[in-house]
Structure 1
Amino acid sequence: MDRTHEDSLIERYRELSDDIAAAVAVVSAKRRNALHAITVDSFLDVSYDPPTMAVSIYGGSRMMETLEMTEHFAISVLNSSQRDISERLGTPGQPLYGALKGIDTFPAPHSGQPLIADAVAWFELRTTEILQVATHSLVVGEVVAMGAGTDSSRSTPLLRWRKAYGTIGRR
């Protein structure tokens, strides 16, 4: 395959994959005593028995380094009023320390991983497998605890679609 065809295939894939509406979440973990977090929209529930989720993380990122060094991580599904958190933690080149400074968090019950306050839902996971796929790693984890924000029954999720933010109506 020549490079021109490969480039057009990649560009077309990016264009069409932006048509997939996705919930926005924060993946977080502790690296020694420092709290680390990034915004993601590539995560999914994998199994209900046992409850298992997976998240796609760029393989060369500092977040991936952190996930390889810890046994647990957390996923906080953001509500539609938390767009500022998504933008802040989604900015490339974040400092290694202090990413969550000024953001309300609380510790996950089993491992103390940082969870975002007022998230629509949150999950604490124990890493069970890391799979290398192209430029990313799929980090698979068994859910060891979960919950919802205090206002989750009235919240709407933060969504990404066509490179923009949005939401859907309440249930």
Structure 2
Amino acid sequence: MGMPEPEPHAPRHAGRAASPDFDAKHFRRALSQFATGVTIITTRAASGAGTPFVGITASSFNSVSMDPPLVLWSMATTANSLPMFRDGSHYIINVLSASQLDLCQRFATLKGDRFAGVDYRLSETGLPVLANALAWFECHNRSRYDEGDHIIFVGEVERCGVPGSGGHPLVFHGGAFSTTSPLGD
């Protein structure tokens, strides 16, 4: 018996990634080619804040597990509202419809009370569920992971809903907002 043939592409050492061969602008452009849904994530504000709630626009939402029901999302470590999400016990993930672009922009840019004049109801834990969202997930703040310049939140879904008659989702792709339409039958 002879010696086994070496594998043509041996795996890299698993201990450390190679340095990137691209700059941040190129990386952002490549990431923008992946279409994502858009959410607004809400929770309770710190006591003494002008409004009882905080909310942020996020497109980093994803499912993790069916059993137990887990979802994830991430937030920049520099975000002003990070302590409320990191330290709170619950949050709501509201999946936006294409008709909610104004809310998306409001919760991404407005300073002050982002909830002023916004239609919502309170969940069982007393957090805002936005009216006309395509779906919502009420999550226990199960775990958090510091990774790079973001914190990854894993939420255990305690309740969820699909309140309306559907509609098209708000989608972010290529640096612009759009929506989806079915491809054939």
Q: TM-score, normalised by structure 1?
A: 0.88
Aligned-pair distance for 1:6? 6.8
Tell me which residue corresponds to 1:169: 181
Give 1 or 2: higher strand fraction: 1
Asked whether 1:99 is paired with 2:114, we answer yes
Q: CA RMSD in A?
A: 1.9
**Residues of 2 paired with 1:142 and 1:122: CA distance?**
13
Aligned-pair distance for 1:8? 4.6
Structure 1 segment 8-47 matched on structure 2, within 5 A: 8-31=22-45, 32=47, 34-47=52-65
Aligned-pair distance for 1:43? 1.0
Identity %: 27
SS in 2 for 1:42: coil
Amino acid at match of 2:68: P
SS in 2 for 1:14: helix
More off after superposition, 62-71 vs 40-49: 62-71
* Structure 2 CA distance for partners of 1:7 and 1:135, relative to 1, 3 Å: farther
Aligned-pair distance for 1:143? 0.1
Tell me if the contact between 1:118 and 1:151 (Cα under 8 Å) persists in the aligned partners.
Answer: no
Tell me which residue corresponds to 2:9: none
Tell me if the contact between 1:23 and 1:159 (Cα under 8 Å) persists in the aligned partners.
Answer: yes
Q: TM-score, normalised by structure 2?
A: 0.81
Q: Which runs of 5+ in 2 are unaligned?
A: 1-18
Bigger radius of gyration, 1 or 2? 2
Moved over 6 A (4+): none
Give CA deviations for 1:124-155 in whole Å, capped at 9, x if unaligned. Answer: 00011010011110011100000013232xx1
Aligned-pair distance for 1:62? 2.1
Say how many residue pairs are matched.
161
Q: Which runs of 5+ in 1 are unaligned?
A: none
